[in-house]
Structure 1
Amino acid sequence: FGVSGRDGAAHALVGEATGGVAGGAFCYTNLDSVSVGVVLRLDDAIAKGTDSATVLDHLLAHPYVAGLVAGGELLEYGAHLVNEGGLAAVGRIHADGLVVVGDAAGLTLNTGLTVRGMDLAIGSAIAAAHAVDLALTSGDTSADGLAAYRNLLNESFVGQDMRTYAKAPAFLERPRTYTEYGPLAAQVLHDEFDVSPTPRRPLRKVATGALKASPLKLRELIGDGIAAWRSL
């Protein structure tokens, strides 16, 4: 990973990393270990007749990742089903003697560039702790007594970020996000950085040529761009 001391690295991977399944992959360094995993859309994995274990094996066999983990020993593994419905998926988060935090409450965010959950879990736990403290102080741990939790959550960065990206899940449902755009971007980058005796073309012509060669239509690109601007 090219790091030393207490420095670390976080690699986010897309494209061939998931073998064509909508999603992405990651490689994180810890103090004395490395975390490697995939994040997949369950419906797309089912539609393609595969599963997370198969996709993970595919990732580990990729030359880039294989070189990072060569000689390593498997310490542990796990799997987790995460709700990425955004704000619309957050339902009832408190009841008599109960508050729900983290991804159990639907508090996860996929912004297209980052997948967040841990920070939202911490933020919601802080809001929950304050609400529980208020409830215990007042002697009312009923649903009404714990109602401050939702207000505290909404006022925190968790609630604000959930509102900011409320439209992101619907945008990221678009299949083109995981199919046509990857090859298009790869072609543009390949043509732009390729070194050959062929005369260079302006970037705008490189991009236009790649778009014409792809199944994407200009109106789809414009429509998706506008939707991304409004959602992300």
Structure 2
Amino acid sequence: MSVQKEIYALKRELAARYQLGEEHHNICGRKIGVTCVEDAEALFDKLGMADPDSIEVQDERLPYWATLWDSALILSDVLLSDNLIAPGESVLELGCGLGLVSSIACLKRARVTATDYQPDALKFARLNSLQIAGVAPRTMLIDWRFPPQGQHYATLLGADLVYELRFFDPLIAAFDAFLAPGGRILFSEPHRVVGRSFFDRLQDAGWAFSTITEREGATVYEIVRGEGASHKDTKTQRYKT
């Protein structure tokens, strides 16, 4: 199937379930359009009417994936502006949501795997990457609290993943499961108070992190095993509730 035919097919499929919209953002001086859910708030209303015994309700799977967050925009800008990802590099994004970060990694010609535990998030990720980069990432439906074994990547990507305490230990375990020896994680966090606790937990688990850039909406970090980070600096971070 050609790129344009697949874009058409994905848009048609998603439009049957969502009112689609388009957001345009300046990413490293480049205007990039992202197909999104026009009214993401309506998904919260839909969840409120869902079967109480459904996995979405039982596991509190709030539809945050349908919103394009500042953390994803800032991480995408950093990836496009800096030589942090090399062509052909194996890259995994955890919790891809609408897929902007994975799309930028594809634009950098990395070998990208986009993951999420929401099937439609993967469809949006594929659609947006085809529109932005002309190629689609490999997509994988996973809950990173239960990572598959035997899959290792040179770089992991994550944007705004530590908004709940219950995710901390499973996420750190996923880092360990997916990251190849000598690899690194490029991770953006939007100055939430809960995020400060995550980095404390991360250090306690034997990981090191350094600040790549701090911006108004989020800070981008490099996370590595052991003492491989060049410096640790959270003193100037701004945290919010």
Same fold (TM over 0.5): no
Structure 1 or 2: larger strand share?
2
Q: TM-score, structure 1 length as denominator?
A: 0.29
Q: TM-score, structure 2 length as denominator?
A: 0.28
